[in-house]
Amino acid sequence: MRLVLLGAPGAGKGTQCKHIAAQYRLLHLSSGDILRKERAAGTKLGKKAQSFMDSGALVPDGIILEMMTKAIKKAPAAGFILDGFPRTVNQAVELDKSLAVNNRKLDAVLNLKIDDRIVAKRMTGRRSCPQCGAVYHIDNLKPKVDGLCDNDGAKLVQRSDDSPEVVANRLKTYHQQTEPLVDYYKNNGTIFDVDADRAPDEVGALIFQKLDDLAKCEA
């Protein structure tokens, strides 16, 4: 299966992609995670992406397309799920073109739908462990000891782009540049809307139902 998970930042794409990838043995490719790794490693690519990410803007298409087409080529035969990519219509068009070179296309796009106010609250309250990557929330997923990771006791940090100002900018960027992808995929593929304002396991169940139906239709 070749899948894309669309949705505003904070809609829960990362969490759902992990489950979907495990269930269907797909390669989970998160453009945000790849960029953060490049930054942490201090690579040329990471340095180029830094200022865009810190302000909540999108990294230019050229950089992203090169990075993601390289990553997609490494996907196993079972396929992949893309998380955070494509994020502009141009990226989507280029992705379709690069798949078409090998007579391939996306099987489905899942669109996580959620209100801006809910995602803003989710993101600004998010805290993570710089050592093991565990994610917490100041209201609804608290660590046992305030501010410290349950796994290794490290001091929890807020992602620099989860501050209220940057979150507002990321949401604006999403509506201006990424939301038009919903219409693009309505005209060029199979897109399913999923209500993401629910507990993660309920959202997961809705997604699995749609993907299982799709797999049955294609069998």
The helix (run of H) or strand (run of E) holding residue 36 is helix 31-40
What DSSP string describes 170-215?
A: HHHHIIIIITHHHHHHHHHS-EEEEE-SS-HHHHHHHHHHHHHHHH
In one-letter notation, the amino acid at residue 195 is D
Burial of 66 (0-12, 13-18, 19+ CB in 10 A): exposed
* Footprint (CB under 6 A) of ligand AMP, residues 36-75: 52-53, 56-59, 64
Q: Is 2 a catalytic residue?
A: no
Shortest CB 218 distance to ligand AMP, Å: 27
* Residue 156 contacts ligand AMP per CB under 6 A: no
Name residue 5's beta-bridge partners: 83, 110
* Footprint (CB under 6 A) of ligand AMP, residues 79-108: 84-87, 91
> Which of these is catalytic: 48, 113, 159, 210?
159
Shortest CB 17 distance to ligand AMP, Å: 10
The contacts of residue 180 (CB under 8 Å, 6+ apart) are 89
Q: Which of 2, 5, 6, 31 binds ligand AMP (CB under 6 A)?
A: 31
Q: Is 87 a catalytic residue?
A: yes
* Residue 109 contacts ligand AMP per CB under 6 A: no
* Residue 184 contacts ligand AMP per CB under 6 A: no
How far is it, in rounded angstroms, from Cα 77 to Cα 79?
5
User: Could you give the residue numbers annotated as active site?
Assistant: 13, 87, 126, 159, 170
Query: Which chain residues interact with ligand AMP by CB under 6 A?
Result: 9, 31-32, 35, 52-53, 56-59, 64, 84-87, 91, 161, 170
